[in-house]
Amino acid sequence: MGEERIRSYRAFWPFYLREHSRAATRAFHFVGTSLAVVLVALAAVFGEPWLLLGALIVGYGFAWLSHMAIEHNRPATFRYPLWSLIGDFHMCALIWLGRLDAELACANEGRPGGLH
């Protein structure tokens, strides 16, 4: 049988960070998520729903490409879609705040981190 399913976001977060161990993977996620947020905002401002489709394509496209080409693992989205989405925004927020390195250190040591 497969591995045991993660049951809380607190347990998922260190797993998510370890699945994004390479800086280039995190950079691709950051760019894709940032572009997706811009497209969602533009869709709201201009009332263009097709931009929402673009946001999904750009956001997931950058992320999945990075997992395939850089990280060489399967995106967590396929097993944990909601937590993965939350994790992506969480990671991007920590990048913006300059606080991701501490979280990565905790995840690599097997500690849960601060969940900032």
Per-residue pLDDT of the chain (116 residues; tens, 9 = 90+): 467 899 999 999 999 999 999 999 999 999 999 999 999 999 999 999 999 999 999 999 999 999 999 999 999 999 999 999 999 999 999 999 999 999 998 888 765 554 43
DSSP string, 4-33: PPP-SHHHHHHHHHHTT-SHHHHHHHHHHH
Is the CB of residue 102 less than 8 Å from the CB of residue 14? no
Is the CB of residue 13 less than 8 Å from the CB of residue 90? yes
Closest CA to 30 of 6, 10, 22: 22
Q: What are phi and psi of 13, to 5 degrees?
A: -55, -50
The whole-model pTM stands at 0.88
